[in-house]
Structure formats: C-alpha cells, structure tokens
Amino acid sequence: MKTNKRLIPGFGISMGITLALLSIMVLIPLASLVVFTAKMDLSDIIKVITRPRVVASFEVSLLTSFIASVINAVMGVILAWVLVRYDFPGKRILDGMIELPFALPTAVAGISLTSLYADTGWIGGLFADMGIKIAYTRVGITIALIFIGIPFVVRTVQPVLEKIDPLYEEAAGILGASRTRIFRKVILPELRPAVFTGFGLAFGRCLGEYGSVVFIAGNQPYETEITPLIIMSELQEYDYPSATAIALVMLAAAFLILFLVNLIQIGNSKILKGGH
C-alpha cells in the first residue's frame, strides 16, 4: 500500500500533529506516572493498598458499582427493547433523554440526587417514613452510580436489537414457542455480548466515578468512602506515593475490564457485521 501513501497527501503533517498532541496530552503525563511508580518500593505500595481503610474502599466501590451495573443491564435491555420495538408518543424525547447523564455535569447530578434522596427530600422522605435511609448510605452511592451508568447498556444493545429480524421470532412463535421462550432462546443469545459490553463499560465508569457520588455518599471511612475519594484526600495531603499506589490498583482494574470488554466486543461485531 505504499502507493496509497503517495497518492493522498498529508500523511507527514497529520501524523506529526497527531503524535505531537498525543505525546503532550497523554504520553508524557502517563510516563510521569510510570517514572513515579518506578521510584517507589513494591513493599510500600503493598503496605498502602492493604490498609484496612483502603481495602474497605475497594469493597464499597466494587459492591456499589456492581449492583448499579446489574440494575442498569436489566433496565438497559428493557429500555432498548421499548425504544426499538414499540411506537408511542414521546418516544423521541425518551430516546434523547437517555443521554442526559453524559450531558449533565456530575456535580449537578450529585447535589440534585443528594437533596432528592435526603431524609427531607421528595423521594428520601418517603423512605425515611419507612425507616430507610438512602442518602449518606451505600444505597445512595448505588443510586448515583445507576444515574451515571444508564446510557451504556441502552446504547450498546439498541443497534444489535435493530439488526435482529422479527421474522425469527415470528417463526419461533408459529412453531409454538411461548414468548418467554422466544426471548430466552432467540433474542437473548444475540443480545448477550452487547449486554455484557454495556455492563463492562458502565462498571468501569462507575468504579472511577467521583463527582456524582461524593455528595450523596456521606464519605464515612469504612462505610461509604469510595476509592477515588481516598485518592483525592491523599492528594490533598500531598501524599503522592499513597495516591499513586491506590491509583495503580484502580488502573489495573480499569484495564482488566477494558480487556474483557474488547474480547466480548470481537464476538459482538461478528453479530453486527454477520448480517442477518
């Protein structure tokens, strides 16, 4: 393909600008993380990340992110189904609204959810009467993470659902399959990779989320303190080695999730391109 390079002009300049900006914005900052880590002792890193308070924050972050992402996976399939298969007034508005968590600054979402779910809030008040506290508990964190993760599963499942020909369901129906059976045997196998992809993306996003959670979390050590918040407080105390050590664990988790999502994505793109 050498002729290709010669034919269309601009390879040198576009590649040059791409690499220059990429270096300044991404590579050099990342390199400084690597350099800083290299100067630290492995035993120090392990000492930091096995502190009870840090371990507790891992548990809080993983647990709340997982529950929020499971709820979003279920709701995401329902929402995608409703948006693809049904026609009803206001559908376009509903479809546009899905993207709101991307457009609304996380801090605004955070304070708004906090006052909504506090004991004096509209929703929190209802639950407070029953003796259930939402804001400043792990439930509150989970709700903030559900908010953040809504678009992911919907937007990965939607295009796959659009590709599935209803003919197969009709065929299954005529052959006598019940609706739940059709969904389980015909539709779900096609959707599964997309659901897992969306789940993985949402889960990754939830683990790193900060803005919407800090207000509603209450930030009690061991109880409602998420990992990004611990990094933040280490930074405010100028304890850069501790912050970096904890950040490395989070980065490892993020890359693991990304790797798994990519594995699934390969299967998914086969379905999308396989052309039914």
Partner 1 sequence: MAAENAEKTAPVISREGSTEIHAKTAGSKAVKIILITVSVLFLFVMLVMPLITVIYEAFRKGLAPYLEAISDPDTVSALLLTLEATVIAVVINTVFGLFAAWAISKFRFHGKKVLVTLIDLPVTVSPIIAGLIFVLTFGRQSVIYPFLESIDFMVVYAVPGIILATVFVTFPFISREILPVLDAQGTDEEEAAALMGAKGFTIFRRITLPHIKWALMYGIVLCAARAMGEFGAVSVLSGHLRGKTVTLPLQVEILFGDNKFMPAFAVSSILVVLAILILIVRSIVEYVGKRKKGENSQS
Q: Which stretch binds partner 1 (CB under 8 A): 50-58, 132-140, 227-235, 263-271?
A: 227-235
32 touches partner 1 by CB under 8 A? yes
- 261 or 271: whose CB is closer to partner 1? 261
Q: In this complex, which beta carbon is closest to partner 1, that of residue 245 or of residue 271? A: 245
Binding residue for partner 1 (CB under 8 A) from 44, 47, 55, 122? 122
8-state DSSP, 121: S
Q: Which stretch binds partner 1 (CB under 8 A): 43-51, 119-127, 128-136, 217-225?
A: 119-127
Chain centroid, CA 97 distance in Å: 18
- DSSP string over 200-268: HHHHHHHHH--HHHHHHH---TTTT--HHHHHHHHHHTT-HHHHHHHHHHHHHHHHHHHHHHHHHHHHH
For residue 18, give Cα distances in angstroms to 14, 23, 226.
6, 8, 36
> From the centroid of its chain, how far is CA 73?
11
Single residue of 48, 79, 145, 194 touching partner 1 by CB under 8 A = 79
Question: By CB under 8 A, is residue 132 in contact with partner 1?
Answer: no
**Which of 235, 260, 263, 272 is close enough to bind partner 1 by CB under 8 A?**
235
Binding of partner 1 by 146 (CB under 8 A): yes
Percentages of the chain per state (helix, strand, coil), in multiples of 5? 80, 0, 20
Range in contact with partner 1 (rule: CB under 8 A) among 20-28, 46-54, 133-141, 185-193 = 20-28
Nearer CB in complex with partner 1: 112/192? 112
Stretch that binds partner 1, among 17-25, 44-52, 160-168, 266-274 (CB under 8 A): 17-25
Burial 193-204 (b: 16+ CB within 10 A, else e): bbbbbbbbbbbb
Among 48, 68, 121, 225, binds partner 1 (CB under 8 A): 121
